[in-house]
């Protein structure tokens, strides 16, 4: 990817996270120069980024707090586009971190779209559902922990609700697709598979019969969502079985399924 003799340059906020790490990997494989913001570039938990193909030549890590204007300006300087994947984390503990995270991302999206409309900026958003798939980073994120807990039988019972799932690699593909599609606009739901919790456990049992699994299910209401807008722009996703197998193999290699 080159423009006027130079490689295209983009910024990815929260580069060390679950989705962002795969996005950085994808961008580097496509020849982009990537500015990645992290809390501490020297922290060992960001070492996986430095080991990615082409990282030594095309990845620059910036120490940045996404709530600090000057930090962000320095990181995005010279970039043609920004993938804002990060979500600010409160300095103090909150009662329900997962709900807080969802609220923060929703409010941030609303503000970004409103600001873009007022100031003539080209902003497109991708809204993934529960993200599964192999991890590049060493820390366990919330959605991976959900699947790990299912495999380890952390709960005796679960709601038999419909879960909307998407592979982290498919999310990265969607983000890059939206960036490179001039006609992309507005919001895009990113969900590749919808499956009832009981059916998901049955599928995992067929793949990995020796793990513990929830025994009881309580009924819950269904919710329908659609990724048709993304699919019409050319987005494709991998089979759910592939996502499960790659996820479990990753967890096994990291020792996350050992013990009770």
Please confirm, yes or no, whether 181 is among the known catalytic residues. no
How far, in Å, CA of 207 to CA of 249, rounded? 11
SS (H, E, C) 136-171: CCCCCCHHHHHHHHHHECCCCEEEECEEEEEEHHHH
Q: What angle do CA 6, 12, 14 make, to 5 degrees?
A: 155
Give 52's DSSP letter.
S
3-class SS of residue 59: strand
Catalytic residue among 105, 118, 229, 236: 105
What backbone phi and psi angles, to 5 degrees, belong to 31? 90, 10
Which residues are bridge partners to 60 per DSSP?
A: 35
CA distance 154 to 135: 20
CA angle 126, 243, 84 (to 5 degrees): 25
Q: How far apart are CA 137 and CA 145, in angstroms?
A: 13
The set of catalytic residues is 105
């Amino acid at each position: 990817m080159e423009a006027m003799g130079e490689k295209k340059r983009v910024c990815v906020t929260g580069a060390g996270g679950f989705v962002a790490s795969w996005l950085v990997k994808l961008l580097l494989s496509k020849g982009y120069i990537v500015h990645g913001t992290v809390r501490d570039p020297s922290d060992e938990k960001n070492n996986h980024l430095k080991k990615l193909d082409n990282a030594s030549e095309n990845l620059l890590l910036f120490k940045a707090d996404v709530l600090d204007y000057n930090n962000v300006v320095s990181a995005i300087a010279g970039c043609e586009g920004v993938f804002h994947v990060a979500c600010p984390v409160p300095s103090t503990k909150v009662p329900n971190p997962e709900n807080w995270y969802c609220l923060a991302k929703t409010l941030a999206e609303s503000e970004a779209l409103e600001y873009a409309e007022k100031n003539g900026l080209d902003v497109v958003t991708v809204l993934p559902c529960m993200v599964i798939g192999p991890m590049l980073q060493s820390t366990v994120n919330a959605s991976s922990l959900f699947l790990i807990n299912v495999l380890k039988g952390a709960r005796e019972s679960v709601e038999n609700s419909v879960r909307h799932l998407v592979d982290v690699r498919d999310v990265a593909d969607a983000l890059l697709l939206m960036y490179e599609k001039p006609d992309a606009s507005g919001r895009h739901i990113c969900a590749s598979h919808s499956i009832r919790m009981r059916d998901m456990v049955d599928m995992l049992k067929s793949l990995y019969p020796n793990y513990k699994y929830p025994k009881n299910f309580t009924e819950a209401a269904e919710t329908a969502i659609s990724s048709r807008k993304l699919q019409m722009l050319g987005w494709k996703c991998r089979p759910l079985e592939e996502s499960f197998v790659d996820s479990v193999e990753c967890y096994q290699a990291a020792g996350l399924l050992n013990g009770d």
